Structure 1
């Protein structure tokens, strides 16, 4: 009987998107797995491959220099259609692949063994594969090893997702937020898609802790995070970058729209009463930085927004400042 989860492409894509892993930087946990595959199975190439709408993107790739391929030429695109491993002993004799440009040209794939990366809810989002440039058999012991390592890839993806959320606010952690920023940078470099960063922190937060205690401070942090989450667009990302400092990433927003959004957040925070005993009020200062080709990493982009934030605080707090522009008072 046909497994419906192998044919439900929208649900499969949603399962992949939940990991928020596409276009993120390389990570040692995944690189170590592909290195192990090469060493144990004796193959020149191994990859953790994730299948997006129209591309195969590599979270880890050992033995080859590439970031992605079109989906229609990916061996992995066939692997995700089955529960069982896909093994190709000689691609030149397989009707599915003998005319494939990855077989007829670089990297000259001849043999392939791929294990579907199955999520806990049963969707195949990609594969862990071993690739050779000569025809070969993969014995049952090697396939068993590959299965175990594929399960480890999924475990790493799950751990990565758990570690991406701050326990107090539910916002992205600093690491996860920087990954989102780096994804926005990749989209900007590839397709010139705009994005802007709002960086803010709670004004005089130490006074709140000193006057009311740390539980009250946590209440303010949580309340402001919930407020920002309720105000942001579905495509925006909120991150807690440390203590009382937050970032809001605005995809598809230039400086003008980002400045208006920052003012809206700033005004809303100032007008909000944080419930509790006693009820509390707080304000926040904002720095705004539109993405530019001058900032090739999340950290450099963050540094520019931080300079604007410093200007907002220096000029009186409870206001916004735009990178390389004069600050604007909150109303």
Structure 2
């Protein structure tokens, strides 16, 4: 591995180029707050894909700081940071374009680099700049090998596409960071305003009303019985009730049909509210209480978080979805299988797990390239989804392996279903002008509620049985013996 000789770096006198916009670039990098952060599944997923798509041992995501190269994600590279002076990515961000070095020993820029001039040093490097929304190059996505090699055009395109995914993530984080800063600034302003109101509430009532009317968030003032005392413009726009219609009404009748949630000054709550037209809307509610002439009054500041919820749901879905086939991934399968086994025990029904491995897929990849192989995998995923019931579960395990979870099916039907799946996979697959042919070997493991078997043991049993099918001649179905 590349990093085995790099655990300690000696200060180097190597020169490296510095972008003309270095000050602005560093400011953009630090504002993202990505440096020295824990591993992130979004970045780690991309580096794993790089190693698989390019069949290369090492892939990293780097961030170039003032005097160091910090590594956000890595596969095949154990070091977390290096001096900037030895970083190939310093040249990538300076050029602002893809950098490919087929043999670093023959390149005068890198031949004396301590990462090159050593056993198992870097020979091949390909890096694509990571860009912010304002096109500041803050680092790169790169692939490395200890052997010289040539990067094909389709491989470079794949690397660019994966970099584009990371650039989109970076732009999203920029947006979220700016939004958090804006909200934090708004929060500070509102807190300062509220403190002033407690001290001068009578004298500054008019000023307070003007500020509240112009506020970005909805402002609702209620008494001890949750009857509306004030209702600003943002509240009217958010919930559909005018100020005149809302005044004097119970808060429950206007926006909390299931009852007003409990709240206090110390916590922020997230809750679903209801608009006048009946549509539900998730909001964040902050509450401040004050006492005026012995009577309690509560000020509710309500912020629409529908967009944030959608982003969170999107991120959650992406974390459980295979990027290539759009099938559930291994993480999602683990969760589904655990629940399915619990249902099987409760309903006392059998459960089948099918482990499928394609026969002949490597030959397709070797002959036609990874792009054709990817199209083939997408088509296989579609065929598998359409070959089983809507309630059945199809996931991509890894590479050319797929797993099916079938609930409530008779064990006697497994042989016939497996043979049907083999015929489905063996049908010709058209990719452009090509007709591709692959098959599949299937291992079946039946889970019975009386067994004390874990999800991982069940999957392992199906996996081992699949290899029995391969060794028996491929394109076969084997059913595991019951543990």
Normalised-by-shorter TM-score class: 0.5 to 0.7
What is residue 241 of structure 1 aligned with on the other side? 397
Deviations 1:62-100 (A, max 9, x none): xxxxxxxxxxxxxxxxxxx985384366xxxxxxxxxxx
CA contact (8 A) 1:223 1:274 kept: no
Distance, in Å, in 2 between the alignment partners of 1:127 and 1:301 is: 42
- 1:279 CA drift (Å): 1.1
Do the aligned residues in 2 keep the contact of 1:117 with 1:153 (CA within 8 Å)?
no
- Which residue of structure 1 aligns with residue 345 of structure 2? 189
Q: By how many angstroms is 1:157 displaced?
A: 3.7
1:254 matched residue in structure 2: 410
Q: 1:176 aligns with which of 332, 351, 368?
A: 332
**How far did 1:316 drift?**
1.1
> Aligned residue pairs: how many?
211
| Match of residue 306, structure 1, among 457, 463, 474 | 463
- CA separation in 1, counterparts of 2:321 and 2:297? 40
By how many angstroms is 1:301 displaced?
Answer: 1.8
Following superposition of structure 1 onto structure 2, how do residues 135-284 of structure 1 map, counting pairs within 5 Å?
Answer: 155-284=311-440
Which secondary structure state, in structure 2, belongs to the residue aligned with residue 279 of structure 1? strand
1:272 offset after TM fit, Å?
A: 3.1
Residues 252-303 of structure 1: CA distance to partner in whole angstroms, max 9, x if unpaired?
1132223321111012212333343321100110011122343654322211
| Higher Cα Rg, which structure | 2
Alpha-carbon spacing, 1:123–1:165, altered in 2? closer, same or farther (3 Å) = farther
Q: Structure 2 regions of 5+ residues with no counterpart?
A: 1-252, 263-268, 285-295
Q: Distance in 1 between matches of 2:336 and 2:435?
A: 34
| Number of the residue aligned with 1:5 | none
Give me the whole-angstrom Cα distance separating, in 1, the residues matched to 2:282 and 2:473: 51
- Could you tell me how far 1:172 is from its partner in structure 2? 1.1
SS of residue matched to 1:166: coil
| Divergent runs of 4+, >6 A | 125-128, 150-154
**Cα deviation, residue 156, structure 1:** 3.6
TM-score (norm 2): 0.38
Q: Are residue 285 (structure 1) and residue 441 (structure 2) matched?
A: yes
Structure 1: 5+ residue stretches without partners? 1-80, 90-112, 129-136, 326-331
Task: Say if 1:206 and 1:295 are closer, same or farther in 2 by CA, change over 3 A.
Answer: farther
The alignment status of 1:115 with 2:288, answered yes or no, reads no
State the alpha-carbon separation in 1 of the partners of residues 458 and 254 from structure 2. Answer: 42
What is the Cα-based RMSD across aligned positions, in Å?
3.7
8 A Cα contact 1:185 1:296, kept in partner: no
Where relative contact order (Cα < 8 A, 6+ residues apart) is larger, the structure is 1
